[in-house]
Chains A and B, each alone.
Chain A
Amino acid sequence: MIRIKTIKVEEFRGIRELALDLEGENFGLCGPNGTGKSGVVDAIEFCLTGNITRLSGQGAGDLNVKGHAPHVDQRANPEKAKVTITASIPALGKDVTIKRSVKSPRAVSIIPADPAIKAAVEELRMHPEFALSRREIAKYIVTPPSRRSDDVQNLLRLDHVGKLRSSFVTYANKCKGDADEAKRTRKRAEDDLRTALGLPILDRKELLKKANEQRNVLGLAGIPELQPDTNFKDGLDEDDDVNDKKTGIAKEVALCDLKALTEAIAAGEPESQKQPRQDALAALKKLKEDEKALRHARQQGLISAGLELVESDACPLCDKPWDAEELRAHLKEKLLSAEEMGKLLETLSGNLGAISAEIAGRIAAVKKAADYADKLEPKVARADLDAVVEELQAHIEALKAFSDDPAEIDDALSVVSADWWTSKADANLRIEDVQKRLEALPDHSAHDKAISFLTELQVRYGQLLRGTKQAEVKAARNKIAQKVRAHYDTVSNAVLEGIYDAVAKEFTDFYKAINDDEGKFVGELKAEPAKLSFNVDFYGRGTFPPGAYHSEGHQDGMGLCLYLALMKHTLGDKFTFAVLDDVLMSVDTGHRREVCRLLKSKFPNTQFILTTHDKVWLQYMRTEGLINKGQFFGGWNVDIGPRIWDDTDIWTEIDAALVKNDVPRAAALLRRYLEYIATVLADNLRAKVEYRGDANYDLGDLWPPVTNRWRDRLKQGVKTAAYWGHDIVKDELEKQSAEAEGLIKKTNAEQWAINKSVHFNEWENFTIAEFRKVADAFKALLEHIRCSNPKCGGYPYLEPRKGSSEQLRCSCLTVNVNLKMK
């Protein structure tokens, strides 16, 4: 991450031309609403990411960057709307200039074009969360747990962790499918061998016994042990004619095959498919009856694919602009609903696979019968048997079609409901025909029978060996794939839980730091499937969602603390830069100093750019030493954009107006500036101002109480110093007090109420000389009040904030007046 040195904004949003010099340090932007502060935030975001959240985020409607980022008068000239940022990259020890124009938001100029610098800038683009607005705080606090889960996971860059999980799940499922299929193929090979041997159960000893019986008939030596490379025909001549001379059929084996088929037909529904079929039928019926569930099932694949496509701010097919963030959130919500459906479909897929395997077994058996029918002389018509094969094959296709697209539920339901294992009369007749014709084939001699048997045994033994080997390989791979998946789940869950725990602890510490009255406060982040619950303590009465009982101000504080904790864990040492756009407006004034201290003490290496429309809040940032520099936006109009004030160069601006003989402008500047300073000082010094419900105080309401209070506190300082016998301090304060009296008198502020000719309302009618006298008097008074240390320059404030004031101080303690006597 970077630290911003300068920002130059041209023809962008409400800004015509603006240059800010941040010097890589914390920076405050202050001004009334509508003066252009957020335009600066937008400019930073745009320059670093090419995007502006408020023009493209949720609720932006028809707004878009290209159309609405240029100044309203430059809508037709987006190339004139540009932002340039110079920055340092602490991790690299290098500087960079980043420039982007609204004409080509995706094209960024990075100078120097060093790959490491480019990577650092790209990282910023990937982390648009460096800018946090008050509106966005809500997404961490008052938000449904499922949405929070997404937002927090996005911030922590956990989407990749989730995608890897999906990959491992898919791979494990594929391996399981392969292993199951290999197992079924092996089972069919085993059944074929068992059928050829006429054995109810395949047994190695029995197999060897049967093989050796036949070898004995041929006068061949018995095989002592069954091996993978056992050759049952060892010792036979290669050109021995093994089967029926005309048909090439091994009669005995063929009869065994036919017998197995007729027995299977007679047995009815295969035992091994009964439960899977029952379960599959129930699941399919449930899906069929619940249109919404079916829609989710159908959409799951589409939504997942769609999510992958939402990468830019326009449709990749038609280029029509869309709100990528909003669309992604919408799709994720849908996908969430489809997740349960995904589990149901996975189970269903297993059950349908078992049914398909049984059907495939029947197909193989009927095919064999059809092949025998074809080989007989004369042939038995195989059409009826082929029709059975075709019909059963269609069943398998229907089940596969449903797996590919749940919309094909009707055909799948028909298959699962049908008693496919019963055979049609025509087909049964053909099987009987084939059987009869096989029986009618001339019997082989014992010698030929033996050769035929051993030949078929060799073929089927080979098939079983290959099937077994394949099944073993697939099973081993499946075992590894399942482990790889399980390990990933376990590890990633543990890491995420650790992160959530650490974030919650950090959040709790931060929140306690800004709310010293909440010592027992605790925050909890709890990850549950597809949601992230966030509960916080409420005065020891239990933990609840933040929106349940806590005030808006507390929620704002929590949002900031959670954001900071998350950013710290996401970026670690790279969290060098953040823009906090008006994020703490609801936080009690009493807690704002603590916020300043939190940012300053816990994030000393992070550059914060803070905006506020509250002048007092800006002043707190200064007095607490959070910011050294700030920019006050004193007004705005559409032609010139924001009018910026630096509270030290206001006098230069006033001088410039006077040089132009423009007293009314100089008067307006002074009045507005003094209103700003008076607000700050009234708060700092806890001045006794006549209360107004609408808080609409003018200069006349604030300034006299401020000067009175300043005078009074200095006098109190003198008394206290005398009480403690600190003569030198007493003398200095007396001197300062006398100086204050003189300077206050020169401003004529105390005469405003009784002498209308000196009232600030009349300043615009003064001569240049008269007005300069007034301006000089206020300038001198303010210089007298503010800290003389140029590195501080803050206005003093009273501590504590409530009760008897004990100390008048500035943040650097150059001003440090004891007011407490005992």
Chain B
Amino acid sequence: MAEAKDEALSPTVTKVLDAYFEVLKGDSDIDDEAAGRLDDLLRQGKVPKLADIGAALFPAGDDEAG
């Protein structure tokens, strides 16, 4: 179970994020590293911006067509 990094996360949110991370890791279509980055982002306790979600799931240069 991932450790909460931010005190502002309520137990309920932590519970959701823990279960969510497990499901992401179990999905073969989703890269483990991407799941990890998304998990880190969500545990910052803020509502992420769209660009941040994109950057977590698809790092810059990651097969982006020109």
Contact of B12 among A161, A168, A171, A483 (CB under 8 A): A161
Q: A123 interface residue, CB < 8 Å from B?
A: yes
Chain A residues with CB under 8 Å of B60's CB are: none
Which of A158, A174, A492 lies at the interface centre, i.e. has the most chain B CB atoms within 10 A of its CB? A492
| Cβ–Cβ contact B24 & A487, under 8 A | yes
Contact of B23 among A160, A167, A490, A496 (CB under 8 A): A490
Q: In the complex, A214→B9 CA distance in Å?
A: 67
| Cβ–Cβ contact A480 & B20, under 8 A | no
Q: In the complex, A571→B53 CA distance in Å?
A: 29
| Cβ–Cβ contact B58 & A483, under 8 A | no
Q: Across the interface, name the chain B residue whose C-beta is closest to A115.
A: B7
Chain B residues with CB under 8 Å of A170's CB are: 50
Chain A residues with CB under 8 Å of B50's CB are: 167, 170-171, 174
Q: B65 interface residue, CB < 8 Å from A?
A: yes
Interface residues in A483-507 by Cβ distance below 8 A to B read 483-484, 487-488, 490-492, 494-496, 499
Q: B2 interface residue, CB < 8 Å from A?
A: no
| Cβ–Cβ contact A481 & B65, under 8 A | no
Q: In the complex, A494→B57 CA distance in Å?
A: 23
Q: In the complex, A203→B53 CA distance in Å?
A: 38
| Cβ–Cβ contact A484 & B30, under 8 A | yes
Q: B38 interface residue, CB < 8 Å from A?
A: yes
| Cβ–Cβ contact A483 & B19, under 8 A | no
Say whether chain A's binding surface is mostly helix, strand, loop, or mixed: helix
Chain B residues with CB under 8 Å of A302's CB are: none
Among the stretches A63-71, A465-473, A702-710, the one at the interface with B is A465-473
Q: In the complex, A157→B8 CA distance in Å?
A: 10
Chain A residues with CB under 8 Å of B12's CB are: 156-158, 161, 495-496, 499, 569-570
Q: A315 interface residue, CB < 8 Å from B?
A: no
Interface residues in B6-40 by Cβ distance below 8 A to A read 7-13, 15-16, 19-20, 23-24, 27, 29-30, 34, 38
Q: In the complex, A711→B13 CA distance in Å?
A: 60
Q: Mark A559-594, 1 if CB is under 8 A from B, else 0.
A: 000000000011110000000000000000000000
| Cβ–Cβ contact B38 & A470, under 8 A | no
| Cβ–Cβ contact B65 & A469, under 8 A | yes
A167-B48, A171-B53, A484-B24 known; A126+B16 contact, CB < 8 A: no
A483-B27, A491-B19 known; A161+B11 contact, CB < 8 A: no
| Cβ–Cβ contact A484 & B38, under 8 A | yes
Closest Cβ–Cβ distance, residue A596 to chain B (whole Å)? 28
Q: Across the interface, name the chain B residue whose C-beta is closest to A495.
A: B16
Q: B59 interface residue, CB < 8 Å from A?
A: no
| Cβ–Cβ contact B19 & A495, under 8 A | yes
Number of A positions contacting B (CB below 8 A): 42
Chain A residues with CB under 8 Å of B24's CB are: 484, 487
| Cβ–Cβ contact A487 & B23, under 8 A | yes
| Cβ–Cβ contact B53 & A495, under 8 A | no
Q: A119 interface residue, CB < 8 Å from B?
A: yes
Closest Cβ–Cβ distance, residue B30 to chain A (whole Å)? 6
| Cβ–Cβ contact B47 & A473, under 8 A | no
Q: B3 interface residue, CB < 8 Å from A?
A: no
Q: A298 interface residue, CB < 8 Å from B?
A: no
| Cβ–Cβ contact B10 & A156, under 8 A | yes
Closest Cβ–Cβ distance, residue B19 to chain A (whole Å)? 5
Chain B residues with CB under 8 Å of A487's CB are: 20, 23-24, 27
| Cβ–Cβ contact A157 & B42, under 8 A | no
Contact of A160 among B7, B19, B47, B65 (CB under 8 A): B47
- Seen from chain B, the residues whose Cβ lies within 8 Å of a Cβ on chain A are 7-13, 15-16, 19-20, 23-24, 27, 29-30, 34, 38, 42, 45, 47-48, 50, 53-54, 57-58, 63-66
Listed A/B pairs (28) with beta-carbon separation below 8 Å: A158-B13, A160-B45, A164-B16, A164-B42, A164-B47, A164-B48, A166-B47, A167-B50, A167-B53, A171-B50, A469-B65, A472-B65, A473-B63, A476-B63, A477-B57, A480-B29, A480-B30, A480-B57, A483-B27, A487-B24, A491-B16, A491-B19, A491-B20, A492-B16, A494-B19, A496-B12, A496-B16, A569-B11
- Seen from chain A, the residues whose Cβ lies within 8 Å of a Cβ on chain B are 119, 122-123, 126, 156-158, 160-161, 163-164, 166-168, 170-171, 174, 466, 469-470, 472-473, 476-477, 479-481, 483-484, 487-488, 490-492, 494-496, 499, 569-572
Q: A158-B13, A164-B13, A570-B11 are in contact. List 16 more A-B contacts (CB 8 A).
A: A122-B7, A160-B10, A166-B47, A167-B48, A466-B65, A473-B63, A483-B29, A484-B30, A484-B38, A484-B57, A487-B27, A490-B23, A499-B12, A569-B12, A570-B12, A571-B11
| A-B pairs with lowest CB-CB distance, top 7 | A157-B10, A470-B65, A469-B65, A163-B47, A491-B20, A119-B7, A491-B19
